[in-house]
Chain A
Amino acid sequence: MRTAGWRRDWGRRLVVALPFLWLGLFFLVPLLIVGKISLSETRSGIPPYEPLFEIADGALVQVRASLANFALLFEDDLYVGAYFQSLTIAGLSTLACLLIGYPMALGIARARPERRSILLLLVILPFWTSFLIRVYAWMGILKDEGLLNALLLGLGLIDQPLIILNTDAAVYIGIVYSYLPFMVLPLYASLEKLDPFLLEAAADLGAPPWRAFLAVTLPLSAPGIVAGSMLVFVPAVGEYVIPDLLGGGDTLMMGKALWDVFAQNRDWPAAAALAVAMLAALALPMALFHHLQARLDGEERA
């Protein structure tokens, strides 16, 4: 009766192998290539970088690896500035998403069960419409002749239009707006699992609602907070579209910097080095995310 076991093993290997190979070729290898190119020197031509190894007569003649690109990153204030600006903007935006998103998620989780699915649907719906076009809509709202200023001027709250578009402020608004669903959904998932009887027990034992929230709800929703924060922070650091459309000349984020270096300067190795620097900065949050997923893994298999 060996056949069943044998066939099962090979079947399983195939199931794992197909996605594994795909990701290996189209995700892992590309990242490795980025690493390799970041060490190459720039030259004009196609492709615009020197090969890492030069082989002549079957022997390794020269290894042209250089850390020049990384040095560039550290020396040029532009890149260093972009690095810190990205982290700051992404970090504060994540915080804002949390402050807005948490009450929303809580409100949905506490709503009546019949209402919850439609409330969630309403949170997800904007996400399914074009992200690009919605950011464009913000341009119309925030620009000097835009709707917001028209409203505020009309109401007499201000007498000069607020300059929001093409500044950092617009970028914050754009990021918070676009990534809010990514914060609300994991938060909701974690709050929904909360046993309502725990809060009743807290109340029964004498805790006022705010105390119960701090002592029971908040700690138990921690996995949701972390997951949501990761899903907002990490991609936000590398955002390109929002800073490009909504930000100003001095709003330099790493994603935009990478694009500019790549497309305008045609400096692929520098762009690759920038990508490596970004990955290094994000390695910790990404590992945290993976660790969380692995823990959920364990719960699934239990």
Chain B
Amino acid sequence: MERPAAIRLEAVEKRFGASTAVAGIDLTIGEGEFFSLLGPSGCGKTTLLRMMAGFENPSSGRIAIGGADMTGVPPYERPVNMMFQSYALFPHMSVADNVAFGLKQDGVPRPEIARRVAEALDLVRMGDFGRRRPHQLSGGQRQRVALARCLVKRPKVLLLDEPLSALDKKLREQTQFELVNIQEKVGITFVMVTHDQEEAMTMSSRIAVMDHGRILQVGRPHEVYEYPANRFVADFIGTANFFPGTVLGDGGGFAADGLAGPLTVSGDLPPGPATVMVRPEKLVMGREAPAGAVNVLSGTVAEIAYLGDVSIYHVRLASGALVLATAANLRHSAEPGLTWDDRVFLSWHPANAVVLR
């Protein structure tokens, strides 16, 4: 028999008065996944998370956790635990008491509580901090205690609300790996809300990109990045160059607005208006027109953003449009290669572009 999905949302909607925060969402999250809800602020991802936790009730639709219908079930009766953005550690209790809190509510006998608390704290490498109070801990330490407090209850699903937003960059990177490792070790389904696409890409097994209460695309990081379903997703994740125009039928290629010649696109596409999307790192850049290449554009370097490992070149075409191209700084030399006002040629292989409608 097939195991039920960790979480299943059917036609879930949430309205606050006249405004709709979440509009008709269908989603299935499998067991053991590290799933991210990604989107700009106000897109409804936090509302969705809170509905899974039980702090909001859907205006319509069903939520099932582990196969059991959870509509109307209050948070203290759900097999789900949430790690809050502010960590929400009880200030008047020690670290150990904080972690033990959930177990006490379940009526777990004392010796077992002590054992499981120690186990959970060791898992997050806070084993020596049992007697401390939250105000004596740093931000990163508090977060680990909050995580231990959730994990100790062995929930079916762990919900994380922007877990890394309060941390500085270095700590964030470190914690990203820690979280993924813990998830793999423990095997619990994680559902994370974030507005940081790098974070979502690094940590998740699957991502749902949301905007204005709707899910625009669900897929693995690779899929969402290389094969975005629409313009919003393409633009939200990473950087993109867009060439709006028309697909000409019968192998005529793609007539891009403002460009001289047609572009070559791969695949058998029905004619009609569309947009060709190319990621900056897929563009090949050089001082001379590449021989025998298709999709060649020429322009001048208007801006260079030097990031150390890569440089982003803003190239202005004859039509006035700006195209972004990324090139790794392969050579360790003080002299830059291309520089401002240089004349360059850009090209890409048709298979590296995506046609969006």
B72 at the interface (CB under 8 A from A): yes
Chain B, range 55-104, C-beta contacts under 8 Å to A: 71-74, 77
The complex places the Cα of A170 from the Cα of B77 at a distance, in Å, of 66
Chain A, range 1-35, C-beta contacts under 8 Å to B: 1-2, 4-5
Q: B34-72 interface mask toward A, CB cutoff 8 Å, 1 = contact, 0 = none?
A: 000000000000000000000000000000000000011
Expressed in whole angstroms, the minimum distance between the Cβ of A292 and any Cβ of chain B is 25
The complex places the Cα of A5 from the Cα of B73 at a distance, in Å, of 9
Give the total of A residues in contact with B, Cβ under 8 Å: 4
The complex places the Cα of A282 from the Cα of B77 at a distance, in Å, of 51
Residues of A within 8 Å of B72, CB to CB, are: 1-2, 5
Residues of B within 8 Å of A4, CB to CB, are: 73-74, 77
The complex places the Cα of A4 from the Cα of B73 at a distance, in Å, of 8
Chain B, range 220-270, C-beta contacts under 8 Å to A: none
Residues of A within 8 Å of B74, CB to CB, are: 1, 4-5
A1, A2, A5: most-surrounded residue (chain B CB, <10 A): A1
Residues of B within 8 Å of A1, CB to CB, are: 71-74, 77
The complex places the Cα of A1 from the Cα of B72 at a distance, in Å, of 7
The complex places the Cα of A5 from the Cα of B77 at a distance, in Å, of 12
The complex places the Cα of A297 from the Cα of B72 at a distance, in Å, of 29
The complex places the Cα of A2 from the Cα of B71 at a distance, in Å, of 10
Expressed in whole angstroms, the minimum distance between the Cβ of B116 and any Cβ of chain A is 26
The complex places the Cα of A1 from the Cα of B78 at a distance, in Å, of 12
The closest CB in chain A to the CB of B75 belongs to: A4
The complex places the Cα of A265 from the Cα of B71 at a distance, in Å, of 68
Residues of B within 8 Å of A2, CB to CB, are: 72
The complex places the Cα of A1 from the Cα of B73 at a distance, in Å, of 6
Expressed in whole angstroms, the minimum distance between the Cβ of A300 and any Cβ of chain B is 18
Residues of A within 8 Å of B73, CB to CB, are: 1, 4
The complex places the Cα of A5 from the Cα of B74 at a distance, in Å, of 8
The complex places the Cα of A4 from the Cα of B77 at a distance, in Å, of 10
The complex places the Cα of A4 from the Cα of B72 at a distance, in Å, of 9
Expressed in whole angstroms, the minimum distance between the Cβ of A211 and any Cβ of chain B is 38
Residues of A within 8 Å of B71, CB to CB, are: 1
The complex places the Cα of A2 from the Cα of B74 at a distance, in Å, of 10
Residues of A within 8 Å of B77, CB to CB, are: 1, 4
The closest CB in chain B to the CB of A8 belongs to: B74
Expressed in whole angstroms, the minimum distance between the Cβ of A298 and any Cβ of chain B is 15
Expressed in whole angstroms, the minimum distance between the Cβ of B272 and any Cβ of chain A is 47
Expressed in whole angstroms, the minimum distance between the Cβ of B171 and any Cβ of chain A is 28
The complex places the Cα of A2 from the Cα of B73 at a distance, in Å, of 8
Expressed in whole angstroms, the minimum distance between the Cβ of A8 and any Cβ of chain B is 8
The closest CB in chain B to the CB of A2 belongs to: B72
The closest CB in chain A to the CB of B69 belongs to: A1
The closest CB in chain A to the CB of B72 belongs to: A1
The complex places the Cα of A145 from the Cα of B73 at a distance, in Å, of 76
- A to B CB contacts below 8 Å, 11 in the list: A1-B71, A1-B72, A1-B73, A1-B74, A1-B77, A2-B72, A4-B73, A4-B74, A4-B77, A5-B72, A5-B74
Query: Taking beta carbons and an 8 Å cutoff, which residues of B are in contact with A?
Result: 71-74, 77
Query: Taking beta carbons and an 8 Å cutoff, which residues of A are in contact with B?
Result: 1-2, 4-5
Known: A1-B72, A5-B72. 9 other contacts (CB 8 A): A1-B71, A1-B73, A1-B74, A1-B77, A2-B72, A4-B73, A4-B74, A4-B77, A5-B74
6 tightest Cβ-Cβ pairs between the two chains A and B = A4-B74, A1-B72, A1-B73, A5-B72, A4-B77, A1-B77
